[in-house]
A and B are shown apart, each in its own frame.
Chain A
């Protein structure tokens, strides 16, 4: 059984992505008791699946390493993975939270040696690579990624009850596999709650005219990120899914799902910079043979980062077309996606009047899908102010619940972390008030 020692001076952080992890660490390093609840088997959230950050083009795992080391070293921080908050009751300074912990089937004895993975035969699509999971399978006993923290393997529930589960158990020399593990429910106290449940990529299948569900060579920006990663499904090579052909001519479609009343009403803020960054992947992979075309409505590079946009604009291998792409078809002969639409800045450019209607073929199309907040208005455990877009408002009536990162708005990593740091302070204010009233 999992045990949590918590009081109403404890800060509960919900979500262990970069925002939640930051809020938890900042509070814990200020001497506060923190319980971090994470849905996935590891912390770090979506940044673990990014190849590079803009604008430095540096690696997210670099900062993750530091954060994970901080987490490992800090006795004030308790991390509970594979857990979700199901209920919250009470008020600022005196909450009671109930969490549901899914069985991992691997206990804390696990040394991360990997014997179970080698013993197990069943393979599954690797969700770590989003929709490209089929390009590289993972075993039924697995470590989600090389830097996963906690460094503890997971058994896919689909192998439980099969021979594979027994094989895994037999292979484990440290008695870490517990096939009898059950879902647990746990209730504990907290004085303040930092809500950092982040975002999910907008479901590209819903953007029907782009054919994400029909055309193998139409992928999303998060998938492209996995493709560029040497640890990803293609070993870092930009190879298109249909036939493994080198993807040299790549189109990026902005606002795929964002700024659209049919999909997400809000602008997701990060997608322009993400695409500008991803043009570097194309450039780095193929040099002058790699060509990127960005279809956009407005380019929203982020204030100080506009110089990044300027640099990409000056790259002759990158072109910009102001247009929301109308539809994508597929050239059945070569599997190339064909983009259709009108360039709204082309009026009479050739002197013949009218706009350019394009029907342009690419090797690969990347949909810059937006950020959908993971805050579910309908099932949110406490009464809280959530705006039309699904983000938590900075409202005084939220009591001791503070949104951090993308639960509060569509934010880039830097802003999310910045915002999460502030959220940690607001949680500290509450528990310090409690401490004051309790005479501690």
Chain B
């Protein structure tokens, strides 16, 4: 392949490019400096004819590498979609003519800008190959579901219905999970007025009858290794036997546990048998078996019951939950209806703070509860006094009254806590804690970590990373299944608190992602956000120093280490962000379409004028997901960017190799601006830690600058959002001003 490379350049003269720039000169640059073997101009390259010209060259002339000089790489993507060749794009429209004033005195520098972008694009494509996947991938359609509750069973049924075989691994001896012990569920269908059958028995029957579903009861995962498309999971049974099966993807549906109200003595949970949690009430109702619901202490039929809502939830107190399960009020209404159904005169009071009955179903159910004479009181419960009749003391917030009520039974609305494995980053959290209090908290989390569920043989830990409060939810609002472990999707209350309908929906979503991950792995395609990318990281073993930076810093835990501590990349786990590439101090990691060279050569091929020309060069490395689109949009607004800037889009700030910085400084660049996404708790980096890692590395650039005897202001890094349409160009222009103030770099040769 390598000896058959053929390079062709295409220069579009449409959209004003031809009028503003000397296209002939650009063509000369492409062939002379850029070493394109051929170069064509077209007045509208994105037109059918223009695209056909390129297609013909590929088909007839054997062109393997193309350089397109036209608009931004974000524009006309569908037109310039040549999957069979390597392609780079020089951004002459949004990157040059739209950000420079159309005046005679600017003509020269605008042309120079365009010339450089041609050189850069030519250099980039020269070091690219069109990725074709490793060839090692295989399609494994079998999906593993961990957990046999409603979420797990739904996930299994939905997956099987799409034609994919499933194995369910369930720790206990039965399917059904929590919901298996419930009398009825919150209605999931209109008119949302009555509790409905949980449907669990039917679901269990469906699972058992389904030929595509295999159930492993009393089983856990002893060991899971591999990657999407080739997970090998050792399923161990209680009896000690085990078998290893391979899977394309994994769904973790391990559910929840309930908050223990013993920690809150005011509710007398430990003092009275007649104070129960909402889940325990389900047990009492099941026991009653259609007869009167009896209170535990003496078996008296319950004639009055108080539902105390929001117990230990939505709190800032230690040992309470900072969030809310969100469904406690719906459950209370459902359970109050149990009593009303048996005895319309049973006094049922729900003491709430904010009644959380959202959506259409929620509000309907609330009204249905009121219709059935359930009393709703906005009240703050201060104490439950045990006794033969319980006394509930509360502040009635509407009547501003200190009130008490007598009842036979008190039901506590306790919150849901996720059933997750240990957070792989718990140790890191201790190390990174900013103050002692935080460190202490992190240490407690580490020490009280739950046992592993997945037992992943991953360099970065055994289980899915936690997001907040132990949940394995996605950090991304737009991408709820975005996970930090490719091909492993959490669903149900292990992800965030939810009811059965939501859990079922969530299970379907996770099943969707699981089959997609399996299919993608089969084709060697990357998962979100670089969906479909066929490239994968590879490394030059002889250059590797086994420093382990790549294995530690990969935001997705994709890289393992072999016995000699060389990295094993596990391409199907990889998201192609390039953080490993940025981490590698010896520059041995690269992708076929993105490498130290594809960017480094762009930097090197910019023409750096002599110092006395007073034409500084400013390198801008901009994240392609946020900063680069922001610059495009500012170009659409006609915002000027200094003629000295040369912008290179990067996959992630985390992929930036320090060598690019040192090389450009050594080559006489006068300033460098780095733009990544927001880091920190509310990070917006699509590669989770990439931006943070990049910024952290850049903070150490000071040493390099010092060695070179350069001013620290010459390198600036920023967190830039996609909405920074005004700010992003300003940051670049500020650097031009800085350079003007401190003078040109002395390193121009």
Contacts and interface: CB of A to CB of B under 8 A. Distances in A.
Contacts of B516: 26, 29-30
A113 B635 CA distance: 11
Interface in A386-406: 387-389, 391, 393-395
A68 to B, nearest CB: 9
Contact of B44 (A174, A322, A409): A174
A422 B478 contact: no
B519 A31 contact: yes
B723 A418 contact: no
Interface in B278-321: 313-314, 316
A231 interface: yes
Given A26-B512, A73-B77, A387-B190, A310 B314 contact: yes
Interface stretch (A123-131, A333-341, A425-433): A425-433
B359 A425 contact: no
A349 B75 contact: no
Interface in B423-453: none
Interface in B310-367: 313-314, 316, 322-327, 354-364
B645 interface: no
A393 B359 contact: no
B59 interface: no
Interface stretch (A155-163, A283-291, A301-309, A376-384): A301-309
Interface in B452-473: 468-469, 471, 473
B477 A303 contact: no
Contacts of B327: 303
A315 interface: no
A423 B359 CA distance: 19
Contact of A63 (B16, B355, B361, B478): B478
Contact of A301 (B190, B324, B399): B324
A173 interface: yes
B47 A428 contact: no
Contacts of B400: 345-349
B511 A425 contact: yes
A282 B629 CA distance: 27
A138 interface: no
A190 B528 CA distance: 26
B398 A417 contact: no
A334 B414 CA distance: 50
Interface in A129-153: 146-147, 151
Contact of B325 (A303, A388, A391): A303
Interface in B470-507: 471, 473, 475-481, 496-498, 501-502, 505-507
A65 B625 contact: yes
Interface in A15-35: 18, 25-26, 29-31
Contacts of A302: 326, 358
A295 to B, nearest CB: 14
A102 to B, nearest CB: 21
Interface in B234-257: none
A188 interface: no
B202 to A, nearest CB: 13
B515 A266 contact: no
Size range of the interface on A? 35 or more
B358 A267 contact: yes
A90 interface: no
B162 A432 contact: yes
A66 B478 contact: yes
* Residue among A230, A393, A413, A428 having the largest count of chain B Cβ atoms under 10 Å: A428
Given A306-B313, A306-B324, A419-B509, A147 B476 contact: no
A53 to B, nearest CB: 5
B529 interface: yes
A322 B507 CA distance: 37
Interface string B30-55: 00000000000000101100000000
B397 interface: yes
Given A70-B531, A259-B363, A300-B358, A111 B509 contact: no
Contact of A425 (B512, B528, B529, B626): B512
Given A230-B726, A348-B400, A394-B189, A265 B363 contact: yes
Interface stretch (B167-175, B207-215, B221-229, B678-686): B678-686
A231 B515 CA distance: 39
Given A62-B684, A231-B725, A298-B354, A419 B505 contact: yes
Chain B interface main SS type: loop
Contact of A307 (B322, B361, B633): B322
B158 A59 contact: no
A349 B400 CA distance: 8
Nearest to A409: B359
Contacts of A432: 162-163
A56 to B, nearest CB: 5
A269 interface: yes
Given A347-B400, A393-B189, A425-B162, A74 B505 contact: no
B530 to A, nearest CB: 9
Contact of A299 (B354, B507, B528, B629): B354
Interface in B597-638: 625-626, 629, 633, 636-637
A244 interface: no
A58 interface: yes
B725 A146 contact: yes
Interface in B515-545: 515-516, 519-520, 528-529, 531-532
A242 interface: no
Nearest to B685: A62
B309 to A, nearest CB: 11
A111 B513 contact: no
A413 B356 CA distance: 19
A72 B473 CA distance: 28
Contacts of A346: 400
Contacts of B626: 62, 65
Given A394-B189, A410-B359, A421-B512, A230 B477 contact: no
B707 interface: no
Nearest to B357: A267
B471 A304 contact: yes
Contact of B359 (A269, A307, A385, A395): A269
B313 A58 contact: no
B60 interface: no
Contacts of A417: 477-480
Given A29-B531, A65-B625, A111-B44, A146 B511 contact: no
Contacts of B75: 111-112, 151
A201 interface: no
B360 A62 contact: no
Interface string A96-128: 000000000000010111100000000000000
B14 interface: yes
B15 interface: yes
12 contacts: A61-B723, A65-B626, A66-B479, A69-B74, A70-B532, A114-B636, A303-B326, A306-B314, A345-B398, A347-B400, A349-B400, A415-B480
By Cβ-Cβ distance, the 3 closest A-B pairs, closest first, are A63-B478, A303-B326, A422-B508
Interface of A: 18, 25-26, 29-31, 53, 56-67, 69-70, 72-75, 109, 111-114, 146-147, 151, 173-174, 229-231, 259, 265-267, 269, 298-307, 309-310, 322, 344-349, 385, 387-389, 391, 393-395, 409-411, 413-415, 417-419, 421-426, 428-429, 432-433, 436
Given A301-B324, A409-B359, 19 more contacts: A25-B531, A30-B512, A53-B477, A60-B478, A113-B14, A151-B75, A230-B726, A267-B362, A300-B354, A300-B357, A307-B323, A385-B190, A388-B360, A409-B361, A417-B478, A422-B158, A422-B506, A425-B508, A432-B163
Interface of B: 14-16, 44, 46-47, 71, 74-78, 81, 93, 158, 161-163, 188-191, 313-314, 316, 322-327, 354-364, 378, 397-400, 468-469, 471, 473, 475-481, 496-498, 501-502, 505-509, 511-513, 515-516, 519-520, 528-529, 531-532, 625-626, 629, 633, 636-637, 677-678, 682, 684, 686, 721-723, 725-726
